[in-house]
Structure 1
Amino acid sequence: MSSPISGYDDAILVSVINETSTALDAMAGVKTNVTVISAEMQQVNRSTSGQKLEAGLFNWTGDFERIVGNLKQLRDDAKALLDVNRATSSETEGLANNTL
């Protein structure tokens, strides 16, 4: 059995950055589709059920924006940690070379 990974190596962080960016791109498409449908629904459905649907879409928009914000924060945190890893690696390598 392999030992568990401790810390976050560059490959893991790059994967997180890439996957969150891909998810954010896909979610932008979802938001566009929902916005179009929502606008159409407001025009054609003025009934009580249409009002309930409109309220639901309003709630969805808030939840959606919160999720997008969290994904962006995750991506930005992973980028910052990757920068720290690379800077630390370069520093450590430089120190090691100077002591040999």
Structure 2
Amino acid sequence: MTVSLKELLAQKVALEARIDEQRKIEHSGAVQKVRQLVSEYGLTQDDIFGRTRGSKAGTGETRTVPPKYRDPATGQTWTGRGKAPKWIEGQDREKFAI
């Protein structure tokens, strides 16, 4: 029994339609189940997905960077980030390293 290309393509189209229909049914069931669990247990987005990289916004947390350089004359320090202070500009930074 041989099946023509035209018949196979028609079967493919019908099967893809059934697949899409089943996917929609299962998707909606999964969404309902997740919503029920979120509501029942009071889950948050962080509970489900965890904290994503770079999502510190609004937490109030700031990181302090330890200083790398100190001016022996005044005791001022600099982390090595941003614009260099006047007391270290144009000089060998190694002699100011902490």
TM-score (normalizing by structure 1)? 0.39
TM-score (normalizing by structure 2)? 0.40
Q: Quick check: which has more Rg, 1 or 2?
A: 2
Question: Which structure has greater strand proportion?
Answer: 2
The answer to which structure, 1 or 2, has the higher relative contact order (CA under 8 A, 6+ apart) is: 1
Question: Which structure has greater helix proportion?
Answer: 1
